[in-house]
Amino acid sequence: MSTLTATDDLFAAAYRNYRRMVRWAILDQLGTGDTYLADDLTQDTFLRLYVHKDKVDLARSPGGLLKTMARHSIHKHYKAKRNVEVVFDTGDWQFADRAMESADGYYTPAQTGFRTYRAPQKSDRPVTFTAPDKVVADGNRKPLAERFNAKTKPMPNGCIHWTGYVGKAGYGSFNAAGKMHTAHRIAYLMHFGPVPAKHMVSHSCHDRDAACVAGPECLHRRCVNPDHLTTIETSLTSRRRSAAR
């Protein structure tokens, strides 16, 4: 005796009638031609529908609902963009060398073979970044170093002044992937790598110049010469500010 309910029959009909449509929608969204991945995500989409089959009216056309669930399946499996690292300036994808962050609906490559970067959207542009600071270079624009160096000017005293936007505090600012970073921090990251934990980038040229004007008018704050940059503990900066008051 069959234990299938009327809802199960409706689900089976939806699977037969809409499986190909969902698969093509996923392939179009991915834009990679990865048919194996599309098959996996198609099955995941219908699994989501089956879990909620008693909460939806399968007698009506579920095409729109399935497309929405397909987008959710893609997003769930590829939302771990922060867990993927890209070799800077090469664009070669590689898995992160640290533990993957567990999340509902997310699986590591060892478990499923799924890629670990976010599924590409049609409006996306290629990006590369370095961890943990995630300084981003837009793949459709000039390389980060080229854009950065175009806004610098060597000075007679050995400093390299930032000629781009300068904030109220007197530090240069550089826009990387829609987020503003201090220019001297970008310079440090490009030449020395990540900033140590509980440290910040500081200017040694300011400390060596007895005639330097303090505060936002200090031109050394605009210096991006890597040889004039060092890291100091953030607590030391707080003590400096307290002493200056």
What pLDDT is stored for residue 15 in this prediction?
84
Q: Is 85 helix (H, G, I), strand (E, B) or coil?
A: strand
Same-domain status, 176 and 106: no
Same-domain status, 110 and 158: no
**Domain limits for position 15:** 6-123
Inside any domain, residue 47: yes
Same-domain status, 140 and 48: no
Adjacent-strand bridge partners of 174: 181
* Cα of 116 vs its chain's centroid, Å: 12
What pLDDT is stored for residue 3 in this prediction?
57
Inside any domain, residue 128: no
Q: Is the peptide bond before 132 cis (omega within 30 degrees of 0)?
A: yes
Same-domain status, 175 and 118: no
Give the domain-ending residue among 123, 145, 174: 123
Same-domain status, 149 and 93: no
What pLDDT is stored for residue 65 in this prediction?
84
Question: Cβ–Cβ contacts within 10 Å for residue 142, how many?
Answer: 11
Inside any domain, residue 1: no
Same-domain status, 220 and 189: yes
**What letter does residue 172 receive in the DSSP assignment?**
B
Helix axes 6-30, 63-78, angle to 10 degrees: 60
Q: Is 186 helix (H, G, I), strand (E, B) or coil?
A: helix
Give the domain-ending residue among 95, 123, 151: 123
What pLDDT is stored for residue 101 in this prediction?
42
What pLDDT is stored for residue 216 in this prediction?
66
Number of domains in the chain: 2
Output the pTM of the full model.
0.42
Inside any domain, residue 215: yes
Instruction: Please tell me the number of Cα atoms within 13 Å of 178 on its side-chain side.
Output: 2
Radius of gyration of the chain (CA): 26
Distances (CA, A) of 153 to 12, 186, 213: 68, 16, 20
Segments in the chain below pLDDT 70: 1-4, 32, 77-142, 176-178, 210, 213-217, 237-245
What pLDDT is stored for residue 114 in this prediction?
38
Inside any domain, residue 199: yes
Between CA 240 and CA 41 the distance in angstroms is: 55
Give the domain-ending residue among 123, 151, 183: 123
Same-domain status, 139 and 178: yes
Inside any domain, residue 130: no
Between CA 42 and CA 21 the distance in angstroms is: 10
For 230, counting Cβ atoms within 10 Å of its Cβ (0-12 exposed, 13-18 middle, 19+ buried), the class is middle
What pLDDT is stored for residue 27 in this prediction?
83
Same-domain status, 113 and 144: no
